[in-house]
Structure 1
Amino acid sequence: MVGRPGVTGRREERDVAGGDELGTYLDGHFTGAVAGLELFRRAAAARRGQPSGEVLARLAAEVAEDRAALRALMSAVGATPNRPRAAAAWVGERASRLVTGGRSLGRSPLRDYLELEALLLGVQGKEAGWRTLRALAEHDGRLDAAALDELVLRAQRQAAELVELRARALERSFAV
C-alpha cells in the first residue's frame, strides 16, 4: 500500500455519520488497538526464541501498522483519539499482566492459551471494524475501499495464524 491505508485524498458523494458517530466508532477501535498492540508485544517477548515468538513479533509489527492506518483514518475524518481512554486501555493491559494463571511465578500454559485467545478476539474485532469502514466507504469519499479491502484480508490472515498458534497451545494447556 502506498500513502495512508484506508484514506483517500478525494471527497466523493458525502461524508457518513453526520455527527460524531464515525469519530466515536474509530476512537473505540483505536482504544482497542492500543491495548491489543501492547498484548501482541508482550506475547512475542514472552516467546522470544520460539517459532511462535517469531510469528507473534511479525504480527505485532503488522498490528502497529494497522493502528497507524486507523490513526490516519481518524485524521481523515477529523477525529482525534481520546487520550485518557487510550491511556486507560494501556494501563489495563499492563495490569492484566498480574494474572498468573494459578502460579505464583512464571508463565503457565493456560496463560499462554488465554493470551492467544485474547489476541484472536482482538484481531476478529479489528476485522469487523475494517468491514464496517469498508461498507461506509461506499458512501464516504474519505475512505479508500481498496485499501480497506487489503486491511480486511490482512486481518483474516492474522486471525488464521492465531487460530493455528492457539490450537497448538490447547494441547499444552489442557493436555489433550
Structure 2
Amino acid sequence: MENFLSIYLNDQLALGVGWRELAKRSRAANRETALGEALGTVSTGIAEDVATFEHLMRRLGIRRNLVKTSLAFAAERLGRVKPNGRLVRYSPLSRFEELEFLVMGIESKKQLWATLRDLAGLARRLPDVDFDALIDRAGHQIAAIEPFRERAGREAFGGPNAA
C-alpha cells in the first residue's frame, strides 16, 4: 500500500507543479490589474502548498519522481503555444481558460488534502499537519479568483453582462 501512496503523491505533486506554473504565467499576463493582484496571492498560496506537499513527502520518506514533475513543468510550457483565437496577443479565451484550469486545480487540491487526511490516514500519522487549514486555504484561493473567472467567461463567450 505504501507504494500506491508514493505513486499517488508523486502524481499529485506533478499536478501541483503544473498549477503553480500556470498561476505564475497567468499572474504575469494580468500584472497591474485587480486580477493580477488576486493571482499574485493565489500564486503564492499554490507555491506554498507545493512546498508543504514536498515537505510531507519527505517526512513520509517518499522520494520525489523528477520525471513526473519535469513532464508537468514541460506540459505547462507546451500549453502556452496552443491556439487561443489570436495570433500573438493574450486573448479573452486564454484568460478564461487559465482561470478555469486554476479553479479546477484548486478544487482538486481540496480533495487531495481531504483524501490524505481521511483515506490515507495521514491525520493520524502526521498529527501536527492541519489538513483542515489547508482545505480552507484552497477555498480562499478559489474565492479570490472566481469572480474574475466568471467575468472572463462572459467576456470570452459574449454572455450576459459581458464587458
Specify if TM > 0.5.
yes
The corresponding residue for 1:23 is 6
CA contact (8 A) 1:130 1:151 kept: yes
Is the helix fraction higher in 1 or 2?
Answer: 2
CA contact (8 A) 1:100 1:108 kept: no
Identify the range of structure 1 (144-153 vs 77-86) with the bigger mean alpha-carbon deviation.
144-153
- Report 1:100-115 matches (<5 A): 100-115=83-98
Distance 2:61 2:84 in 1: 42
Are residue 36 (structure 1) and residue 19 (structure 2) matched? yes
Identify the range of structure 1 (155-164 vs 70-79) with the bigger mean alpha-carbon deviation.
155-164
The corresponding residue for 1:156 is 139
The corresponding residue for 2:127 is 144
How far does residue 145 in structure 1 lie from its aligned partner after superposition? 6.7
Kindly report structure 1 stretches of 4+ aligned residues shifted beyond 6 Å.
none
CA contact (8 A) 2:42 2:144 kept: no
- If the length of structure 2 is used for normalisation, what is the TM-score? 0.91
| 1:84–1:138 distance in 2 versus 1, CA, 3 Å | closer
Larger relative contact order (Cα-Cα within 8 Å, sequence gap ≥ 6)? 1
**Equivalent residue pairs, number:** 159
The corresponding residue for 2:45 is 62
CA contact (8 A) 1:100 1:107 kept: no
CA contact (8 A) 1:74 1:80 kept: yes
Q: Deviations over 1:141-176 (max 9, x none)?
A: 332375111001111121222322211112211122
CA contact (8 A) 1:35 1:92 kept: yes
Distance 1:145 1:72 in 2: 13
**Residue of 24, 28, 32 corresponding to 1:49:** 32
The corresponding residue for 1:169 is 152
The corresponding residue for 1:120 is 103
| 2:127 counterpart letter in structure 1 | D
How far does residue 139 in structure 1 lie from its aligned partner after superposition? 6.5
Gaps of at least 5 residues in structure 2 are none
Distance 1:144 1:122 in 2: 25
| 1:151 counterpart letter in structure 2 | L
The corresponding residue for 2:62 is 79
- If the length of structure 1 is used for normalisation, what is the TM-score? 0.84
The corresponding residue for 1:99 is 82
| 1:50 counterpart letter in structure 2 | T
Gaps of at least 5 residues in structure 1 are 1-16
Kindly report the root-mean-square deviation, in angstroms, between the aligned alpha carbons of the 2 structures: 1.6
Distance 1:117 1:136 in 2: 27
